[in-house]
């Protein structure tokens, strides 16, 4: 009969592979969050700079068409920022979902690893007991031979 640890090893390998895949997917999701947050910072920086330019230009005077163009463009930038915030919320939710998947896979992998380690310990203990019995049996035979000779 095969040892229990040998029978459990394929399950441990599968659990480890699944955990690794889930970790990679979670890492990719975190990367997406960072990318989207960087886009938000870029949009906000551009809006702030454009707004500053608008205030500078309006202080020295500008035509109605130019004023309307500035306001319209700032409005579009603000809408883009709102949309980017919505996107960030969505990718954060997705990232959290991937985190939960990874944590479950990791927990399962760790549980299988603990069971496998316990099997190894039990097998080592059984082997040690077996070896000790052999040593004891040999010692007993040796003593019996001496007592029958003497």
Residue tagged 């500035």 (tokens): 70
Long-range own/partner contacts, residues 28-31 (CB < 8 A, 24 or more apart): 29/91, 29/94, 29/95, 29/98, 29/99, 30/95
pLDDT of residue 75: 96
For the cut 50, the answer to whether the pLDDT of residue 99 exceeds it is yes
pLDDT at 3: 85
Q: What pLDDT shows up at residue 1?
A: 45
Section 82-111 average pLDDT: 98
38-52 mean pLDDT: 96
Mean pLDDT of 102-121: 95
Query: What DSSP designation does 72 have?
Result: H
Percent of the chain with pLDDT over 90: 62
What integer pLDDT is reported at residue 100 of this predicted model?
A: 98
What is the pLDDT, as a whole number, of residue 48? 95
Q: Has residue 73 got a pLDDT over 70?
A: yes
Q: What is the pLDDT of residues 55-67, one digit of tens each?
A: 887 778 878 888 8
The pTM (predicted TM-score) of the whole model is: 0.73
Domains and CATH numbers, the chain: 4-109 (1.10.287.1700)
CA atoms lying within 13 Å on the CB side of residue 78: 7
Q: What is the mean pLDDT of residues 75-98?
A: 98
User: What's the N-to-C CA distance of the chain in angstroms?
Assistant: 44
Report whether pLDDT(150) > 60: no
Question: Which pLDDT score is estimated for 66?
Answer: 86
């Amino acid at each position: 009969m095969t040892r229990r640890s040998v029978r459990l090893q394929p399950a441990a390998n599968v659990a480890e592979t699944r955990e690794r895949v889930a970790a990679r997917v979670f890492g990719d999701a975190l990367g997406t969050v960072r990318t989207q947050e960087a886009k938000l910072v870029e949009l906000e920086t551009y809006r702030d700079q454009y707004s500053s330019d608008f205030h500078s230009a309006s202080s020295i005077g500008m035509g109605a068409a130019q004023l309307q163009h500035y306001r319209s463009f700032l409005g579009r930038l603000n809408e883009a920022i709102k949309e980017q915030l919505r996107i960030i919320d969505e990718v954060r939710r997705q990232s959290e979902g991937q985190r939960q998947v990874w944590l479950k896979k990791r927990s399962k992998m760790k549980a299988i690893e603990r069971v496998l380690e316990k099997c190894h310990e039990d097998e080592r203990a059984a082997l040690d007991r077996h070896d000790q019995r052999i040593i004891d049996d040999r010692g007993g035979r040796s003593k019996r031979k001496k007592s029958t000779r003497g």
